Amino acid sequence: MNELSKRVFLLNIVLSQVIIYGVGLLLISTILDDIKLYHLFKFGFNTEALVVIIIGSGLLVLLQIIFHKLFPNEKLFDELNVIIMEKFGLKELFIIFLSGSIAEEFLFRGIIQSELGIWIASIFFVIIHFRYYKKLVILLEVFLMSIILGFTYAITSLLWVAIICHFIVNYSTALLIKKGYIKITEETKSAI
């Protein structure tokens, strides 16, 4: 898989986000009323939002650190994660993670959680990360992260708060990897 080009990976990332937006728009047209739709795109800033961003992002990053202390790297990475970290620089990852955070939070927090609650949205969040099915530790981590993201949205009713928290944890992890604090060794790559 490593021989696939950067362009192919980027195309796959964009395609997956288009699919997420498509599902979201389909659900909006069928299940969300005008009032909920208004709340989906509401942008407000207050002290509560700032506190939730700080605490939510802090908890998400702490969760990442705890998992990296408790489990070996081969349980926390899949081949695709490793390749993405190797093929893309921090500027590209910034855009990839920001657009991914917007797409996923739009669907899972803004639409699914608004209708079905945090727990069901988190189950669907795990399901969409199907590439991790052989990596139960990653699935547990994804589920717990989704719960935290769900609470950031439930507390503030501001989708952008969950988007920022999601982006911060993804980009922080990339920074830790790129700067060598989290190591992806040849041993890790061969064990994946």
Which range (114-118, 126-130, 183-187) has the least confidence? 183-187
148 Cα distance to chain centroid: 11
Pick the closest to residue 21 from 13, 121, 10, 38 (CA basis): 13
Note if the pTM is more than 0.95.
no
| pLDDT confidence of residue 38 | 63
Q: At what angle do helices 159-178 and 47-70 cross, to 10 degrees?
A: 40
**The pLDDT of residue 176 is above 60:** yes
**The pLDDT of residue 189 is above 70:** no
**The pLDDT of residue 1 is above 60:** no
Burial 166-176, CB ≥16 within 10 A → b, else e: bbbbbbbbbeb
**The pLDDT of residue 49 is above 90:** yes
**Mean pLDDT taken over the chain:** 87
| pLDDT confidence of residue 90 | 92
| pLDDT confidence of residue 39 | 67
Q: Read off the pLDDT of residues 128-139 as tens digits, 9 standing for 90 and up.
A: 988 888 889 999
In the chain, DSSP finds a helix count (H) and a strand count (E) of 11, 0
Pair 153, 109: CB distance under 8 Å: yes
C-alpha span between 6 and 22 (Å, rounded) = 24
pLDDT: which is higher, 40 or 72: 72
| pLDDT confidence of residue 139 | 94
Average pLDDT over residues 41-53: 88
| pLDDT confidence of residue 37 | 64
